Amino acid sequence: MNKEVLIKINNLKKTYLGPPKVEVLKGVTLDIYKNEILAITGESGSGKTTLLNLIGGIDSITSGSICIEDKEIEKMNESELASFRNTSLGYVFQFHNLLGEFTALENVMLPSLMTKYNKKDSSQRAEHLLELVGLQNRMTHRIGELSGGEAQRVAIARALINFPLVLLADEPTGNLDKKNADTVQEMLWDMSKKIGFTLILVTHSQSQAKLTDRKLKLEYGETLTEY
């Protein structure tokens, strides 16, 4: 495997000021490699989502640093961060936040239209991604007309439209039954190898974690134990 470091996290701390004050991350240090599939597990409340949100620039760090491709997230101004989030990172959550009134195709195209791509390029790539997730026959369905598993596949296609370096996935199959969860998981793995991106997967499923390149358990807000 290519061991080029893509994300460097150094002594990362996060305290929610509350009240009550919650010290969630107390000094996390971690290298994440280019194109690896990394699982992060840990007890409920251990800080997995917090860590993912900090990597994604969704929430601000208390101290320490996160560098992605040598760019330090906390040193970016608001517009740099917004553009970085839209072009370098993709997000998939447990509950998709797709726009219900729009079609699958429109939802997938949207982040691309917000960048430099025109409508024709955006629509072509969106169609290609929807084919890759097996939804070639659902492109013009509105989100409300899709099953949960199908909607989650649309969310994955949308997250990948701007060629992200990293896909941040927070329990992406947590809301699906076993069969759909397996389909979505296989799709994610397949796409990560075909398209080439780093997948950081937060999961409670040990069977899913087993299938990754590396699995780390977050403990005491500090230690990431490889197991």
Ligand X SMILES: Nc1ncnc2c1ncn2[C@@H]1O[C@H](COP(=O)(O)OP(=O)(O)OP(=O)(O)O)[C@@H](O)[C@H]1O
- Interface contacts to ligand X, rule CB under 6 A: 16, 18, 22, 24, 42, 44-50
What is the footprint of Mg ion within residues 48-67 (CB under 5 A)?
49
Q: Is residue 41 within the footprint of Mg ion (CB under 5 A)?
A: no
Helix (H) or strand (E) holding 11: strand 5-16
Taking CB within 5 to 8 Å according to partner kind, which of Mg ion, ligand X, none is near residue 159?
A: none
Question: Cis (ω within 30 of 0) for the bond into 20?
Answer: yes
**Residue whose CB is less far from Mg ion, 49 or 112:** 49
- What is the closest distance, in whole angstroms, from the C-beta atom of residue 16 to ligand X in the complex? 3
Taking CB within 5 to 8 Å according to partner kind, which of Mg ion, ligand X, none is near residue 44?
A: ligand X
For every residue of 69-111, DSSP letters joined together read TTEEGGGS-HHHHHHHHHHHEEEE-SS----TTSBHHHHHHHH
- What is the closest distance, in whole angstroms, from the C-beta atom of residue 34 to ligand X in the complex? 25
Question: Cis (ω within 30 of 0) for the bond into 172?
Answer: no
**Residue whose CB is less far from ligand X, 46 or 183:** 46
- What is the closest distance, in whole angstroms, from the C-beta atom of residue 58 to ligand X in the complex? 11
Q: Judge contact between 205 and 212, C-beta under 8 A.
A: no
Distances from the Cα of 118 to the Cα of 19, 112, 128, 164, angstroms: 46, 8, 16, 18
Whose structure tokens read 């330090």?
A: 72
Taking CB within 5 to 8 Å according to partner kind, which of ligand X, Mg ion, none is near residue 24?
A: ligand X
Interface contacts to Mg ion, rule CB under 5 A: 49
